[in-house]
Amino acid sequence: MAAQLELLNKAGCHEIFKEKGSGSNSDRPELKKLLAYIRKGDTVTVTKLDRLARSTKDLLNIAEAIKKKGADFEVLNINLDTKSPTGQLMLTMLAAIAEFERGIMLERQREGIDIAKADGKYKGRKPINEAKLQQVQKLVDNGASVSKAVSEVGISRRTYYKAIKEGRI
């Protein structure tokens, strides 16, 4: 994050929107703020394409929303600027290539996990300690909030609610 902020500052960016969520989610609060903030003549600058979107469709939708506001879009690491038709074409091509690369990477990851499982090297997460789940439930039954109970026992709220959904509690 610090390196990205430094690049944006060097590029002369005045207003910086920092998103902690993944670029694979197009429904992000800071992205919405950015799109509401930009005006005609502005330039939206990102350090890398994947910081903005992970799918071609999302990237092109975001780029179109930026264009409709009368703003331009640039990507620093590849020196891409969408002011020209060539820049717009390059954006579309690069977005498609980036999505393809991500798909290939995820496919390799799945294959690697399957191989590791077959070799007995990948076992996934440890099973949830049933005694801890019962402890949390007992605390909740005795009037403790779920947050307090899971914190005291040392499991996550998500783990607790997942166990309920699965009928284990």
pLDDT by residue (tens digit) across 65-77? Answer: 999 999 999 999 9
pLDDT digits 0-9 by tens, 10-42: 888 888 888 876 555 667 889 999 999 999 999
Q: Percent of the chain scored above 70 by pLDDT?
A: 96
Provide the percentage of residues in the chain whose pLDDT is more than 90. 43
Per the structure block, which two tokens stand in for 97?
């290539």
CATH of 2-98, one of 3.40.50.1390, 1.10.357.10, 3.40.47.10, 3.60.9.10: 3.40.50.1390
Would you say the pTM of this structure is higher than 0.85?
Answer: no
- Per-residue confidence (pLDDT) for residue 23, from 0 to 100: 53
Q: Which alpha helices (H) appear in the chain, and where do they start and end?
A: 2-10, 29-37, 56-68, 85-118, 130-141, 146-153, 157-165
Neighbours of 52 (CB within 10 A): 23
Three-class DSSP category at 143: coil
**Averaged pLDDT score across all residues of the chain:** 88
